[in-house]
Chains A and B, each alone.
Chain A
Amino acid sequence: MPSPERATCAGCGLVCDDITAVVGDDGGLERLERTCPLGDAWFAARVDPARPPARVDGREAGLDEALDAAAAILGGARAPLVYGLGDTSCEAQRAAVALAEAIGATIDPAGPLLDGASGLAFQARGASTATLGEVRDRAAAVVVWRADPATTNPRLFERLRLPDPTRPLIVVDAEPTATAARADTFLELPADRDLEALSTLRAGVRGRTIARADDLAPFDDLASRLLAFGHVAVLQRVHGLAEALALHALVRDLARVTHAVAVTLRREGNAAGAEDVLAWQTGYPAAVSFAGGAPRANPGEWSAAAVLERGDADAALVVGSDPLEHLPPASAERLRSIPVVTVDARATATADAARVAFTTQAAGVHRAGTAHRLDGVPVPLRAVLASDRPSDEDVLAAIAERVA
């Protein structure tokens, strides 16, 4: 008899924990219930990836041989980089930070590059935020700024019980998106005009007028509308630091009048956890260098993209991420030229190009663990399938033991 198992999907930052995984008599995954297409793809890529547990220089290798090779690369590097972390459990992230510290690496989660500069803006000014349940039950209006959750976080609207005629959805983006198609109000705004639009909104919210371009008139109206709602939630993925500061300043201004919160829509299932774990172990959420023995952080200097672009890294450990697919070209180019160790639960372009590649159990498929949802709520990842592969957590710990 196939058995239904409770499962959690870590296919995006929503980390839906109401999934049912039906496991067949042969122990294989028969079907999934309540997943979205992104979730189906997430499970499919991890259930049984067509890669051996360990490879060295492209050929299958024994686990010990691969661990030795990984330890030799990382332990022997002068300036190793640890990158990724968004697509695994907090438990594995914890092991990755410990390893980074042991080898004096620079460590940087992929989240800031993928999801924008809100984390940096937070360090400068703070933020007002809320869990999904607060947004669902309290937000009288939802503003989506520079994000397309209908594509990147497909179950968001269902989970927030939107659309809802009593709670308008207002979307601001450069072009009509799947999300914009559901909006009550869609404001088209070219990608480089966030600062203008946000300044106009802030002025409106503060009851001031500032000079603005004529075509931003809709943002005057939006400001007065926002003031009239008792509770406003902004779901965003704003890109640059100045823009992120402006957006959070708007929310702060709005919060003087009404209740206002902002939530960053994270792509990776545990992007929030990666930054949380790094912050509790070091004090900083991203771009941390252990080169001097104690953690130091400086996003301009030690972000993975910057370290690679400068040619500073001489080896890399990539955990739960496919940077060759998303790094800026110059950084990706450098990554191709240095020895790379990957630890991932799926086949990736980065793993296929790596010197040493571990293809591990997936947290949430074969192994239990914890993920922090995009709103920070910790959710258990469950093991629904058996696997002979090692876990990423164990691989990271074994490498750390070998470099000690």
Chain B
Amino acid sequence: MSLRIAGGRVYDPANGVNGDVRDVCLSDGKVVDDVDEHATRIDARGMVVMPGGVDIHAHIAGPKVNAARRLAPEEHRGDVHERTAIMRAGTGGMVPSTFVTGYRYALLGYTTVVEAATPPLSARHVLAELRDTPMIDPLFLVLLGNNVALFDLIRRDPARVRDAVAWWLEATGGYGVKLVNAGGIERWKRGAGNVTSLDDEVAGVTPRQVIESIGSAVHDLGLPHPVHVHCNNLGVGGNWRTTLDTLDTLEGRRAHLAHLQFHAYGGKPGGRLRSRAPDIAEYLGAHPEFSADVGQVMFGPATTMTADAPVSERLRDITGGKWVNADTEVETGCGIVPFTYKEKNEVHALQWGIGLELFLLSRDPWRLVLSTDHPNGGSFLSYPKLIRLLMDREFRNDQLRRANKKAIRRTVLLDDLDREYTLEEVAIVTRAGPARLLGLRDKGHLGAGADADVTVYDDREDREEMFAVPRYVIKGGHVVVRDGELVEALSGDLLRVAAAHDPAIEDVLRERFEERYTVQFDNYPVREPWLLEPARRVDAGRPA
């Protein structure tokens, strides 16, 4: 099937196309140079054409996400999704049911989504949920920063860490490696409290050793996406030093920092937060090997969910409301607390302001990309409003005036920070940049050979309305959204990495498993084709 998207203004920053009026041609699921006159034609004159959106950091599938779903019947009740001829039924809220998650991402113009925190032990559960999440190509990152079997290897046999990392990716169907509060969760689970510095000891290693060792392994393997780091001390006053210390530790290797906003705070632990966004932005600007997503908080409801269980414990004591804690043997923790960010609250307004500072001070949109850490800072459905905040100075200033004044005064937002993101920059931070950072060569651009994932928007003055309701969304060459309605439901492909490992690592790991896990080593790797297929492999080891 062939398709010509004719006469739209095309934003394809990866290929240097900046609003030029041209046709985009699709055939057999790929972008092609041209199609013949029989091809179906979409008249995109006056419209804006971009590659399909790529969400680099969200929480959409797995035991943690499902626990959050179960925790919120009142949200589902108010947001129901009826079965149709092509769609399964479901519910919404901060954490929609799997089918509704897929439909809503597609309706938003997103076609690729990263599930950012999978305990390897739960890979089957994550894969089963992704199988029921239609419309998008999903990929997931495996949590390796608090794995005591790996700690043991780091301590005794560091040369094998690289093979172990590759084995874990192969065993789970994962795409990349995530570190969350390296060492801190394990230390907290032991009852010894969270770590405060990269040099605290945990089970014979330090967070610094873990970050360095796994960061090196990911680098040496040449994984398409660098190590994805949720730094230690999330949310703690003065944590900007930890963030910079983490990056210094990773020097010489590439790294991606998750939800940077939560790690850009000055002040002292337990004291009043200050913004260190300018310092962080400056550092990031000067270090091209590092990238980040912002983790913007949006005023309104959210659901915090994280492997960083000690953070959830603090949030529990702030809200006094619902709280989930779930410890996963050997590997990680998990905490969930529903949360509301209020514009009049000094801390929340400062967090909101710091996120905007990071965006507006960023020198390189390719390396500082958009996220709300869905649903931690807000739902993915709030991306259009966030885009308007970036593109529309008047709207932003109006919102700034409503927010807690003390907080906003402690940012540079009122100091003639009048930058407005262009459509090209928005195309970079929402698709081209994330795709490049993920090493997905077929995503995030519209050059010949790219996946035929395309979003077409009406060019509306209100950028929130424009980005909330795309005119057309095309996934793999199929028109799946037309005039804001989902017209075809389809399944995506799992994107997983192919990284080779020395088979001898299995014997090394087997010994460590039998003592620590309560599942058998031979039952740990996912081999079931119905969970793993259809999938596309992205090779490791290619030059970055």
A295 & B326 in contact (Cβ 8 Å cutoff): no
Q: Among B90-98, B257-265, B486-494, which stretch is in contact with chain A?
A: B90-98
A294 & B91 in contact (Cβ 8 Å cutoff): yes
User: Nearest A residue to B97 by beta-carbon distance?
Assistant: A283
With beta carbons under 8 angstroms apart, the residue of A129, A259, A296 that contacts B80 is A296
> In the bound complex, what is the Cα–Cα distance between A17 and B521 (angstroms)?
10
Whether A78 is near chain B, meaning CB under 8 Å from some CB there, is: no
A18 & B90 in contact (Cβ 8 Å cutoff): no
B520 & A18 in contact (Cβ 8 Å cutoff): yes
User: Nearest B residue to A255 by beta-carbon distance?
Assistant: B325
Whether A48 is near chain B, meaning CB under 8 Å from some CB there, is: no
For the complex, count residues of A whose C-beta is within 8 A of B. Answer: 61
- Encoded as 1 (CB less than 8 Å from any A CB) or 0, chain B from 196 to 208 comes to 0000000000000
User: Nearest A residue to B79 by beta-carbon distance?
Assistant: A283
> Which residues from B are CB-within-8-Å of A125?
322-323
> Shortest CB–CB separation between residue B385 and chain A, in angstroms?
24
> Which residues from A are CB-within-8-Å of B516?
133, 137
- Encoded as 1 (CB less than 8 Å from any B CB) or 0, chain A from 88 to 107 comes to 00110010001001100000
With beta carbons under 8 angstroms apart, the residue of B82, B336, B518 that contacts A133 is B518
Whether A261 is near chain B, meaning CB under 8 Å from some CB there, is: yes
User: Nearest B residue to A368 by beta-carbon distance?
Assistant: B528
A259 & B322 in contact (Cβ 8 Å cutoff): no
Known contacts: A127-B324, A259-B189, A377-B519. The answer to whether A280 contacts B69 by CB under 8 A is: yes
Interface size class of B (residues with CB under 8 A): 35 or more
- Encoded as 1 (CB less than 8 Å from any A CB) or 0, chain B from 67 to 81 comes to 001111100110011
A279 & B327 in contact (Cβ 8 Å cutoff): no
Q: Using a CB-CB cutoff of 8 Å, which residues 323-345 of chain B contact chain A?
A: 323-330, 336
Q: Using a CB-CB cutoff of 8 Å, which residues 256-298 of chain A contact chain B?
A: 256, 258-259, 261, 275-277, 279-285, 290, 292-297
> In the bound complex, what is the Cα–Cα distance between A284 and B100 (angstroms)?
14
A131 & B121 in contact (Cβ 8 Å cutoff): yes
Known contacts: A126-B336, A283-B73, A376-B63. The answer to whether A94 contacts B520 by CB under 8 A is: no
Whether B99 is near chain A, meaning CB under 8 Å from some CB there, is: yes
- Encoded as 1 (CB less than 8 Å from any A CB) or 0, chain B from 429 to 473 comes to 000000000000000000000000000000000000000000000
> Which residues from B are CB-within-8-Å of A126?
71, 322-324, 336
A276 & B66 in contact (Cβ 8 Å cutoff): yes
B520 & A296 in contact (Cβ 8 Å cutoff): no
Known contacts: A17-B519, A125-B322, A128-B325. The answer to whether A279 contacts B69 by CB under 8 A is: yes
A134 & B125 in contact (Cβ 8 Å cutoff): no
B99 & A281 in contact (Cβ 8 Å cutoff): yes
Chain A interface SS verdict (over half): mixed
- Encoded as 1 (CB less than 8 Å from any B CB) or 0, chain A from 196 to 221 comes to 00000000000000000000000000
B132 & A129 in contact (Cβ 8 Å cutoff): no
Q: Using a CB-CB cutoff of 8 Å, which residues 382-402 of chain A contact chain B?
A: none
> In the bound complex, what is the Cα–Cα distance between A368 and B96 (angstroms)?
29
> Shortest CB–CB separation between residue B462 and chain A, in angstroms?
30
B73 & A133 in contact (Cβ 8 Å cutoff): no
> Which residues from B are CB-within-8-Å of A127?
324-325
> Shortest CB–CB separation between residue A120 and chain B, in angstroms?
10
B327 & A129 in contact (Cβ 8 Å cutoff): yes
Q: Pick from B129, B324, B518 the residue with the most CB of A within 10 Å.
A: B518
Known contacts: A129-B326, A293-B82. The answer to whether A377 contacts B89 by CB under 8 A is: no
With beta carbons under 8 angstroms apart, the residue of A132, A280, A380 that contacts B329 is A132
> In the bound complex, what is the Cα–Cα distance between A133 and B333 (angstroms)?
13
User: Nearest B residue to A252 by beta-carbon distance?
Assistant: B323
> In the bound complex, what is the Cα–Cα distance between A102 and B76 (angstroms)?
20
> In the bound complex, what is the Cα–Cα distance between A64 and B328 (angstroms)?
45
> Which residues from B are CB-within-8-Å of A368?
528
> Which residues from A are CB-within-8-Å of B93?
283
- Encoded as 1 (CB less than 8 Å from any B CB) or 0, chain A from 142 to 186 comes to 000000000000000001000000000000000000000000000
> Which residues from A are CB-within-8-Å of B523?
6, 8, 17, 379-380
> Which residues from A are CB-within-8-Å of B531?
370
> In the bound complex, what is the Cα–Cα distance between A234 and B525 (angstroms)?
30
Which 8 pairs show the lowest CB-CB distances between chains A and B?
A133-B329, A283-B91, A294-B80, A378-B124, A283-B76, A130-B327, A128-B325, A293-B82
